[in-house]
Every structure is written in structure tokens, then in C-alpha cells.
């Protein structure tokens, strides 16, 4: 059985779906995809990078450097991320 806890997400205050069946399917935010898993900061940062990102485009720019449209600079991507996710995410990352 799964239960939904409203306003339980530490990132966006969204509804968190809690799978009770196994440790692998931990609680997950329905709004932003936040997951309550025991992972290293590095892994979590990588996951954060991919959330809301066009993953196909992300891979494409890595393999087609100089042939397709230019990839966004790191700063441009960070700006996008802040606009999309707001200040809560930065607090989480610096904690």
C-alpha cells in the first residue's frame, strides 16, 4: 500500500508519495521528484541535475560537441534551475 503525505516535501512542500513495500521504492515527491533515499551528496546532485532537464538533449550535447547547437554554459543552466525550483533547493544543497 502507498500513502500520500501532503506538504511533506522539504524542497517544494509538495505531496510525497510513500511506498511502504520496499526500501528501494522510498518516498517520492509527486511535484518535483524529490526522493528520500540514503544517497551520497554527489549522487543526489547528479539526480537533481537531471530532474526537469531535457535528458536527451543533455546527453546529445556531450557527444556532439561543436556539431550541434552550443551547449548552455554552467551559469546559464544554474540560472534556469533557480528559476524553476526557487530558493528552497539551494538551501538543501548547501546544508
Smaller CB distance to Zn ion: residue 15 or 72? 15
Smaller CB distance to Zn ion: residue 13 or 61? 13
What are the grid coordinates assigned to 24, written together? Answer: 528501494
Min CB(35)–Zn ion separation in Å = 10
Please report the sign of the dihedral spanned by the C-alpha atoms of residue 65, residue 70, residue 75, residue 76.
negative
CA–CA dist 2, 47 (Å, integer)? 23
Strand ranges in the chain using DSSP code E only, listed in sequence order: 2-5, 16-19, 28-29
Min CB(85)–Zn ion separation in Å = 9
Smaller CB distance to Zn ion: residue 1 or 6? 6
Smaller CB distance to Zn ion: residue 9 or 48? 9
Residues at the site binding Zn ion, with contacts judged by CB under 5 A: 9, 11-12, 14, 29, 31-32, 34
Min CB(8)–Zn ion separation in Å = 9
* Cβ–Cβ under 8 Å, residues 25 and 19: yes
Local structure of residue 18 (DSSP, 8 states)? E
Min CB(71)–Zn ion separation in Å = 27
Amino acid at each position: 500500500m502507498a500513502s500520500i503525505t501532503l506538504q511533506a516535501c522539504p524542497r517544494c512542500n509538495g505531496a510525497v508519495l510513500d511506498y511502504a513495500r520496499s526500501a528501494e521504492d522510498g518516498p517520492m515527491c509527486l511535484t518535483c521528484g524529490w526522493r528520500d533515499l540514503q544517497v551520497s551528496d554527489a549522487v543526489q546532485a547528479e539526480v537533481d541535475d537531471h530532474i526537469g532537464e531535457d535528458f536527451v538533449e543533455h546527453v546529445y550535447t556531450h557527444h556532439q560537441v561543436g556539431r550541434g547547437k552550443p551547449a548552455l554554459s554552467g551559469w546559464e543552466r544554474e540560472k534556469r534551475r533557480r528559476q524553476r525550483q526557487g530558493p528552497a533547493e539551494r538551501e538543501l544543497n548547501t546544508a
